[in-house]
Amino acid sequence: MVRAFSYELLAEDPSGARLGRFHTPHGAFDTPVFMPVATRGTLKSLTSAQLAETGAEIVLANAYHLMQRPGEEVVAAMGGVHRFMAWEKPVLTDSGGFQVFSLSDRVALDDDGVTFRSEIDGSAIRLTPERVIAIEESLGSDIAMPLDHCIAFGAEKGDVARAADRTVAWARRSMAAKTRADQAVFPIVQGGMHEDLRLECAQRLMELDAPGYACGGLLVGEPRETAHAMLTAVCRALPRAKPRYVMGVGTPADFLDAVLCGADMMDCVLPSRNARHGTAITRNGPVRMKNAAHARDERPIDPACRCYTCRTHSRAYLRHLVHAGEPTAATLLTIHNLACMTDVMRDARRAIAEGRFAAHRREALARLSAGSAGTVDSAP
C-alpha cells in the first residue's frame, strides 16, 4: 500500500532542530519550511507564477474565508483549491478556528461546535468538526487543520483545560469524519501556558496516529520565553517521526527560535503584510523603503538576494513606488520578503544538515538585530 503522506527525518541537530522532508499527493517539501499565507486562494498582490518563483514549496489557505467566498462547493466544482488558484504544490488549509474565536463577541460556542456571523452578509454560520472536514475535503487541500478551541491568553486554568479537552474531542471527531485518503489532518495541541495541560493534550492526540501534529495558541500575547518553553515541551512530547507545525509564527527571528524548539512547519502573514506597508525583510534586519536614505540608492534591497525584485530594481525605484502609493510596490516587496523567508529557511536547513544550527541561529539573530538598529534603516 502506498502511503499518501510520509515524513523522512533526515538529520537532528544537537540543538534540537530537525531536518526533514514531508511527502504529500502534490509533492514533497523540505522542513523546516516557511508557508506563505494565501488566505483567500491568492497570495496578496502576487500571481501564482510569482509565488512559485519566490521558492515557496507549500502555501496556506483558509477554509473559513473560502467557505464564505466563493464557497467551498465553487472551489470543488472548479477542480479543487490547487486548480482554482493554479498552484501545483502542496496546500495546507487552516480551519479558521482562530479567526472564529478572534471574533469572540459574535461567537456562540458549545461542545458540538460554534456559531458565528458571516463577515460578508451577517448570516449565521454553524461550524462543527465534521462540517469543517467536509469543507476542507471539498477544497481538496493536502493538509487540513481540524476545528480547535483556541482560548484567549490569560484565561483561567480550568477554562484552558476545558478548551484543550474540547480540542481533543473535536480532533477525534475530525479524524472519524474524514473520507479522503489524499488529505491529511493534523491535530492541534492546545493547553495555553500550562505545560501539564499541553503534554496531556499531546498524549491524547497521539493516540489518533495522525501523519503530523500542530501546536496552536502560542504567540498570542505571552512572553517569548514562555512560548519557547511551551513549544519545546510540545515538540519533545510529539512523535519524532511526524512533522510539527507551529501555527502563526512571526518574524524571521521567531522562525529561527521555533526551529530551535523542534518545529518543522510555520506560517505567517507578516512577510506579505510588512511588504504592503513598505517594509522589506532582509537577513540584516528590516529595511523601511520610505526612508529618505534610499532616495538615490542604486543598490537592490539586498545584493545577496536572488529574487526578481533584487535582480531588477534599485532601492530608489522601490522607494518611489512606495511613496507614490503604486500597487506594484506591494508586489515587488512581497516577492522579496517571501524569497527572503525562503532563504532564511534554506540557510537553517543547511546549518542543521551540518550540525551547527545553534551557532548559525546566534549569528543570524545578531545580523537581524544589528541591521534593524543600523543608521540607514532606522532613519525617520
# chain residues binding its own copies, by CB under 8 A: 40
- The rounded distance, in Å, linking the Cα atoms of 163 and 153 is 12
CB of 292 to its own copies, least distance (A): 11
Among 21, 273, 283, 313, binds its own copies (CB under 8 A): 313
CB of 289 to its own copies, least distance (A): 12
Q: Per CB under 8 A, does 196 bind its own copies?
A: no
- For 113, the grid coordinates are 461546535
- How many Cβ atoms from other residues are within 10 Å of residue 360's Cβ? 20
Q: Kindly give the residue spans of alpha helices, DSSP state H, lying in the chain.
A: 48-53, 63-68, 72-77, 81-85, 97-102, 129-139, 157-177, 195-206, 224-237, 252-261, 270-276, 308-312, 315-324, 327-353, 357-372, 375-378
Q: Per CB under 8 A, does 328 bind its own copies?
A: yes
Q: 83 or 240: whose CB is closer to its own copies?
A: 83
Among 177, 308, 346, 355, binds its own copies (CB under 8 A): 308
Catalytic one among 13, 165, 257, 267? 267
Q: Per CB under 8 A, does 46 bind its own copies?
A: yes
Active site residue 94: yes
Q: 26 or 40: whose CB is closer to its own copies?
A: 40
Among 14, 27, 69, 203, binds its own copies (CB under 8 A): 69
Active site residue 30: no
- The rounded distance, in Å, linking the Cα atoms of 32 and 16 is 12
Catalytic one among 94, 165, 254, 377? 94
Judged by CB under 8 A, which stretch of 127-135, 205-213, 214-222, 319-327 contacts its own copies?
319-327
Judged by CB under 8 A, which stretch of 218-226, 245-253, 327-335, 361-369 contacts its own copies?
327-335
Q: What is the dihedral of CA 40, 41, 46, 50, to 10 degrees?
A: 160
Among 82, 149, 204, 319, binds its own copies (CB under 8 A): 319
- The rounded distance, in Å, linking the Cα atoms of 146 and 110 is 16
Among 14, 27, 74, 181, binds its own copies (CB under 8 A): 74
- Name residue 287's amino acid: V
CB of 124 to its own copies, least distance (A): 21
User: Which 8-state DSSP code applies to residue 246?
Assistant: E
Q: At what angle do helices 224-237 and 252-261 cross, to 10 degrees?
A: 40
In sequence order, which residues have a C-beta less than 8 Å from that of residue 207 and are 6 or more positions away? none
What amino acid positions are annotated as catalytic residues? 94, 267
